[in-house]
Amino acid sequence: MRVLLIDDHPLILSALESVIQGMGGEVAVVGAGGARAARAALAADSSFDLVLLDLMLGDVDGFDLLVELRSGWPQIPVVVVSASDRSADVIRAIDLGAMGFVPKRASNETLIEALGVVMSGGIYVPSMTMGEGGDASARAPTAGAEREASAGIGHPLRPNALAQFKLTPRQTEVLGLLLRGQSNKLIARELDLSVETVKDHVAAVLRALGVNSRTQAVLAVSQMSSQGAIAPWLSRPLH
């Protein structure tokens, strides 16, 4: 596995590299102190399996670089590792295409678990307060809401956790593909459906979850697990 770390703090780069090397297996880590170095590394060799991105960089806004990475190298999943743990930043990062968001204050075990979720095709987000009162799993995220203090991964989401929403088997398949970041066109191709039919299924899923967007669906489902890891049964490839 080849990993590109983008952070302008040498000590953080070194710490992240140590954690990733500890995951085992053959791991090659390349550090980049900013956007310019990251672009140079990708131009020299774009065969990275994963990018870890800090949002606070000296030479560019981290969100702008996230957009650039997802546009220029869409095949490489990006995980944001940030000093921020604001829910507004989590929502924005996932909305811009990040496959994961890990606060820097999280434990090494949390980071390793999050990377495993992403590398298996899922999306990782930290547990967050989803709104004022009520069942967080069914509420749309509030941009100003603050993340609940938590570290580590709890028990994974079980299939019956979605039973309350009464999704059809096809809608559950569509939700699984949504959680992998698939567009309507790709979902249609995967399930051999028309794009219009997929749009209908997506709309039904969002209504069932009580949310208004794909990003909110990702965050809502993640809150059904104890610490924000979307379960493998829902995020894994179908074939």
Q: Assess if residue 138 is contained within a domain.
A: no
User: Do 56 and 161 share a structural domain?
Assistant: no
Domain contains 150: no
Domain with 42, as residue range(s), is: 2-119
Per-residue pLDDT of the chain (239 residues; tens, 9 = 90+): 999 999 999 988 899 988 888 887 788 999 999 999 999 999 999 999 999 999 999 889 999 999 999 999 989 999 999 998 888 898 899 888 898 999 998 889 889 988 988 888 778 887 754 333 333 332 333 333 223 222 222 233 344 556 677 889 899 889 888 877 778 888 999 999 999 999 999 999 999 888 888 888 877 776 665 444 444 445 444 44
Q: 100 and 182 share a domain?
A: no
CA torsion through residues 145, 50, 116, 123, sign: positive
175 falls within a domain: yes
Domain count, the chain: 2
Which contacts of 158-167 are long-range, i.e. CB under 8 A and separated by 24 or more positions? 158/231, 159/233, 159/234, 161/224, 161/225, 162/221, 162/224, 164/138, 165/138, 165/208, 165/209, 166/208, 167/205, 167/208
Identify whether residues 160 and 115 lie together within a single domain.
no
Same domain, 42 and 98: yes
Residue 162 shares a structural domain with residue 226: yes
Looking at the chain, how many residues does it have? 239
Residue 127 within any structural domain of the chain: no
**Domain CATH for 75:** 3.40.50.2300
Of residues 115, 125, 108, 105, the one with CA closest to residue 229: 125
7 and 79 share a domain?
yes
Please state the pTM of the whole predicted model. 0.66
